[in-house]
């Protein structure tokens, strides 16, 4: 195993280990209870919510769970913009970890190659939007965007736009819940299929033009 790959594997294993310990120590129910108790204090709630969004990628919590909490506490009208801002914020830690890591050698170079090819074909923002609309886990998209050297602006814009349907599903589910249960969002399968189909449409146009215009035999 080459030195760059060894360092990268050790770094990822360490990060996963720390995240696993943090996920065991921090109870989602306790965090939700704390957020609920701060709901009437906008400043304290905002600080706590930002902290939860920043830590969430390392706790293995789905981002939709926080949207459900926001919908439960505030209703969809107030919760939707909070959930979209939070989606951009929560994507930044994993994005930055790979965006500013060395990705021209070792395992990261191999992982980065497909993402960069996709970005070259469909563009940065469109590529992130399509990936967010897909059923691929959100944190995987953030790590891949960082490895693909997507710009910060394109990443944030693509994330916010691509997360709109998922955020709507989450906050509406939270608003309709009488008993809060974090992690239990199960929208209509038809809605999931429609969102994924939208992602395919976003990706399909540029991909088709690329392959149509590619030289024969390329």
Residue 14 lies inside a defined structural domain of this protein: yes
Residue 218 in any domain: the answer is: no
Task: Flag whether 154 is in a domain.
Answer: yes
Question: How many structural domains are present in the chain?
Answer: 1
Instruction: Assess if residue 44 is contained within a domain.
Output: yes
CA–CA separation, 109 and 3 (whole Å): 13
How do residues 112-121 score in pLDDT, each as one tens digit? 777 777 777 7
pLDDT single digits (tens) 127-176: 899 889 888 888 989 999 988 889 999 999 999 999 998 899 889 888 88
Q: Where are the alpha helices (DSSP H) in the chain?
A: 3-25, 28-37, 42-55, 63-74, 76-99, 106-122, 124-133, 138-147, 152-176, 189-213
Least confident of 68-72, 126-130, 178-182, 194-198: 178-182
The pLDDT tens digits of the residues spanning 43-52 come to 999 999 999 9
What is the pLDDT, as a whole number, of residue 218? Answer: 47
Can you tell me the distance from the alpha carbon of 21 to that of 14, in angstroms, rounded to the nearest whole number?
Answer: 11
Residue 179 has pLDDT above 60, yes or no: no
In a domain, 191, yes or no: yes
For position 39, what pLDDT does the model report? 81
> Could you tell me the maximum CA-CA distance found in the chain, to the nearest angstrom?
63
- Cα 156 from Cα 87, distance rounded (Å): 9
Q: Are 155 and 95 in contact (CB under 8 A)?
A: yes
Q: Which two tokens stand for residue 51?
A: 């902290």
Q: Which residue, 124, 114, 121, 118, is CA-closest to 214?
A: 121
- The per-residue pLDDT for range 9-63, each reduced to its tens digit, is 666 777 677 666 766 666 677 777 888 888 888 899 999 999 999 988 888 888 8
Residue 92 located in a structural domain: yes
- Structural domain contains residue 186: yes
What's the predicted TM-score (pTM) here? 0.75
Segments forming the whole domain that contains residue 164? 3-213
Q: What is the pLDDT of residue 1?
A: 61
């Amino acid at each position: 195993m080459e030195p760059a790959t060894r360092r990268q594997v050790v770094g990822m294993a360490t990060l996963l280990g720390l995240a696993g310990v943090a996920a065991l120590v921090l109870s989602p129910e306790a965090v939700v209870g704390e957020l609920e108790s701060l709901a009437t204090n906008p400043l304290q709630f905002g600080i706590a919510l930002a902290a939860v969004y920043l830590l969430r990628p390392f706790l293995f919590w789905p981002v939709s769970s926080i949207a459900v909490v926001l919908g439960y506490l505030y209703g969809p009208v107030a919760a939707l913009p909070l959930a979209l801002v939070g989606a951009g914020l929560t994507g930044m830690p994993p994005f930055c970890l790979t965006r500013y890591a060395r990705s021209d050698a070792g395992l990261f170079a191999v992982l980065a190659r497909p993402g960069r090819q996709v970005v070259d074909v469909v563009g940065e923002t469109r590529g992130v939007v399509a990936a967010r609309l897909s059923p691929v886990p959100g944190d995987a998209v953030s790590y891949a965007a960082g490895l693909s050297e997507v710009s910060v602006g394109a990443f944030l814009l693509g994330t916010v736009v691509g997360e709109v349907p998922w955020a709507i599903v989450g906050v509406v589910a939270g608003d309709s819940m009488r008993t809060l249960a974090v992690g239990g969002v199960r929208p209509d399968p038809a809605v999931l299929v429609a969102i994924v189909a939208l992602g395919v449409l976003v990706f399909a146009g540029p991909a088709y033009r690329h392959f149509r215009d590619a030289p024969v035999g390329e």
